[in-house]
A and B are shown apart, each in its own frame.
Chain A
Amino acid sequence: MWKRLRLWIDQRFETEFFIEFLKKKKVPYGKGWYWYYFGGITLFLFLVQVLSGILLLLYYKASADSAYESIRFIMSQVKFGWLVRSIHSWAANLMILAAFIHMFSVFFLKAYRKPREMTWVTGAVLLLLGMGFGFSGYLLPWNELSYFATKVGTDIIGVIPLVGKGIMTLLRGSEEVTGATLPRFYGIHVAVLPLVFTLILAIHLVFVQIQGMSEPRGWDTLPEEKKVYIPFFPNFILRDLLLWLIVFNILAVLAVIFPWELGQKADLFAPAPAGIKPEWYFIFMFQTLKYIPPTILFIDGELLGIITFGIGGLFWLLIPFLDTTAEGTTRARLIKYGGIFILAFIVIMTIVGWLL
């Protein structure tokens, strides 16, 4: 029966080629093999986001009058609505975390080197888009915290020279964060970002499939018989699946034991409550901007901070084109230490921002 079905499909779509490709594809199995799985985990969490997001779309209403109420309805009246919303919120955060781990593991394994420069670039863009998902989705419940965090976040965008004000007004739909902002963020969250993200994700995955997994550092000098590989199909896929199950278990525990709170409905006329913070993955930038003096050498401190982050981000994106020398050279070492410094900076500033 199974053979007949495969034959039926193969006669029409010539799938044998694809299956043969998967069978022949091998994944290096050396030191630090476990880091290879964070890309798959990020992908899995993105799929969870798509599925849970579609379910939330069935009941969510994107207007200032009804957004908060519709989420409350989802959480209290819709069967398993509380679970879907909680999973969506937790998976969003875990996805960003997995993407960060994936990115830094690729960085420290130097897997971005030739010929995988564009895989790195598309991956970095995907992380940015993922953070964009987080920023746009944060406002959608229209609660007190999300309203003021969005206000602070878009204020920061407004500081960017020349285009900042324009982008801020375009995002907000007016000078301030109002009811007009919500449909815009909703449109970005459920239409613009998914379209762009899916497209770039597809390119990223095609690159990975075409070029295969990067071999661990030091393998280029290793004799062939000492290199260990595992088949991509089924071994690597099954290992991926095992991890996805474990992550799904963790996600279920978090969603049930620590359900995502809705908070108080946003009141546009109320003063900002104390302790307004953005999502954790923006905290390192937010906290840094707080420490920068108002002016540095006649330049606006906040502006200088944003420009520094912008230039830093650009360097980070172009790392594969900067780190082209052999391992052990001064430039390669500098880039490695630079990466360690950036990781330490992000971790420390996030913890400080979270605690203060």
Chain B
Amino acid sequence: MKQMIILVFLQFGIFLLGVMAQDNPTINHCLDCHLDLDEKFADPAELFSQDIHFQVGYTCADCHGGDPTTDDYDEAKNEDMGYIGIPEQTDIPELCGNCHSDPSTMIQFNPNIPVDQTAKYWTSQHGESLKKGNTQVATCTSCHGVHGILSHSDSRSRVYPGNVAAMCTECHGYKPLMDQFDLPIDVYDDYAESVHGKAVLERGDFSAPTCNDCHGNHGAKPPDVVSVKMVCGKCHVNNFDLFRRTKMSQVFEMRDLHACEVCHNNHRVLHPTDDKVSVEEGGVCIKCHRPGDEGYTQSQSIQSTLVGLKQAILQSQHVIADAENKGMDVTDVLFDIQSAIDVLIRSRTMIHTFDAKEVENTAEPGMNLTSDALRKGQEAIVEYKNRRIWLGISMFFITFLSVILYVYIRKIESD
């Protein structure tokens, strides 16, 4: 009878374990104790229950070592069971790499997931400093978090594209830390002002780059002279293609100038205006070119072409708007103007050839389109006036005829 009772309890125990295993198939008694402790110990446990590693069945012991299957403090934290406590900062990359650099492990979760993060990390500015023993640098947990690590596609994640800039700024905006590396702390402000920052931070447009898109994520470092144009060229393909064929590209490299950055800035990439290609104040060409040299003349010509086309577009738009306000149908002309605007955009792209003739040739169809549009707009306004003149003339004749008819009716009716 006694054996029967024990057997029934055992069966019940196995059943309970089975039910618990359906929620989380892995036994992790660390959480049971930590959740009952004060905030210092409970918070990591609380966070870990949201962690992506916990979701796929990893336990505290997979990073900290020890035995998670026992609720005995000493047994759980037994160093013989591999318990290491809080990992050293210098050990973190390899600790994460134990799994993340192992293709056979990572393939279980995502067949396309990269496994070179640790290798890349050691090539990064952060990794190189860490190798030299500087622990004031970022490791995996600095960016991804410690116990509450979320997928990069989760908008709450620290490494979600919209959060990356703010996350990097935690260190790169911290003066005491950056002073140690002689690095500026205004990068975030510059980025937030840039076209890229406005797209990412204000409009949530993640096709625009954030920090890791230019610097790399795990292998983060500043792009060097040669690779700047490659980095920008990832997205600005046409501009890159035009630029790399120019003499300027070679001259920039020789003079250790950072290609795109020289004219557009690095973090503070503002919306370019035609005034930038100018030898006037605010122009970028006069940074290097002086009156009389070829670049100076080319800059003047390029700006003249672009401003000329832009003004021609504005003028035709003004005339067309006037015609539209007068009720004339000028839809076809609006298409022409849109085509001219496309030509202007292409012409602006051709700035990257630094060849005034190329820019002029590209802009020429736009000038033709705008002069056509202007002519059609002016014709529409003349037509508008003519319509009223002809209306007046026809009204005069119809009224005249009406008066004659009226007089005739009066005459025959009075007879």
Contacts and interface: CB of A to CB of B under 8 A. Distances in A.
B405 A252 contact: no
Contact of B329 (A76, A238, A239): A76
B236 interface: no
B325 to A, nearest CB: 13
A235 B329 contact: no
A75 interface: yes
B153 interface: no
A239 B405 CA distance: 8
Contacts of B388: 256-257
Contacts of B408: 238
B391 to A, nearest CB: 4
B402 interface: yes
B405 A242 contact: yes
Nearest to B402: A245
Residue from the set A83, A241, A256, A257 with the largest chain B CB neighbour count within 10 Å = A256
A249 B413 contact: no
B401 A245 contact: yes
Contact of A248 (B332, B398, B406, B409): B398
A262 B324 CA distance: 13
Contacts of B387: 83, 256
Interface in A231-249: 234-235, 238-239, 241-242, 245-246, 248-249
Residue from the set A75, A234, A238, A258 with the largest chain B CB neighbour count within 10 Å = A238
A239 B395 contact: no
Nearest to B401: A245
Contacts of A242: 402, 405-406, 409
Nearest to A74: B329
Interface string B374-415: 000000000000011001001100110110011011001100
B216 to A, nearest CB: 42
A248 B399 CA distance: 10
A72 B387 CA distance: 18
Contacts of B22: none
A342 to B, nearest CB: 35
B395 A241 contact: no
B399 A230 contact: no
A258 B401 CA distance: 24
Contacts of A75: 329
A351 interface: no
B404 to A, nearest CB: 10
Nearest to B413: A235
Given A230-B413, A253-B391, A245 B331 contact: no
Nearest to A243: B402
Nearest to A258: B327
Interface in A251-268: 252-253, 256-259, 261-262
Interface in B294-334: 327, 329-332
A246 B331 contact: no
B128 to A, nearest CB: 55
A133 interface: no
A238 B394 contact: no
Interface in A172-196: none
Given A249-B395, A253-B395, A259-B327, A234 B412 contact: yes
Interface string B51-65: 000000000000000
Contact of A245 (B329, B398, B413): B398
A82 interface: yes
Contacts of A235: 409, 412-413
Contact of B394 (A72, A252, A261): A252
Contacts of B413: 230, 235
A245 B405 CA distance: 10
Nearest to A255: B391
Contacts of B398: 245, 248-249, 252
Interface in A74-97: 75-76, 82-83
A76 B394 contact: no
Interface string B327-360: 1011110000000000000000000000000000
Nearest to B376: A76
Given A249-B398, A256-B388, A256-B391, A262 B329 contact: yes
Given A252-B394, A256-B391, A82 B329 contact: yes
A252 B331 contact: no
Contact of B409 (A72, A238, A252, A257): A238
A239 B409 contact: yes
Given A76-B332, A262-B329, A252 B402 contact: no
A252 B406 contact: no
A245 B396 CA distance: 12
Contacts of B332: 76
Given A235-B413, A238-B408, A256-B388, A249 B399 contact: yes
Contacts of B406: 242
A238 B405 CA distance: 7
Nearest to A245: B402
A137 B401 CA distance: 33
Contacts of A259: 327
B402 A249 contact: yes
A252 B391 contact: yes
Contacts of A252: 391, 394-395, 398
A159 to B, nearest CB: 38
Contacts of A238: 405, 408-409, 412
A189 B399 CA distance: 33
Contacts of B327: 258-259, 261
Contact of A72 (B329, B391, B395, B412): B329
Nearest to A259: B327
A243 B331 CA distance: 38
A253 B390 CA distance: 11
Contacts of A248: 398
B20 to A, nearest CB: 51
Contacts of B395: 249, 252-253
A248 B394 CA distance: 10
Nearest to A242: B405
Contacts of B331: 72, 76
Contacts of A256: 387-388, 391
Nearest to A82: B329
Given A238-B412, A242-B409, A249-B402, 16 more contacts: A72-B329, A72-B331, A76-B330, A83-B387, A235-B413, A238-B405, A238-B408, A241-B405, A245-B402, A249-B395, A249-B399, A252-B391, A252-B395, A256-B388, A259-B327, A261-B327
Interface of B: 327, 329-332, 387-388, 391, 394-395, 398-399, 401-402, 405-406, 408-409, 412-413
11 contacts: A76-B329, A238-B405, A238-B408, A242-B402, A242-B406, A245-B405, A246-B402, A252-B398, A253-B395, A256-B388, A256-B391
The 8 A-B pairs with the shortest beta carbon distances in the complex, nearest first, are A256-B391, A76-B329, A245-B402, A242-B405, A75-B329, A249-B398, A259-B327, A238-B409
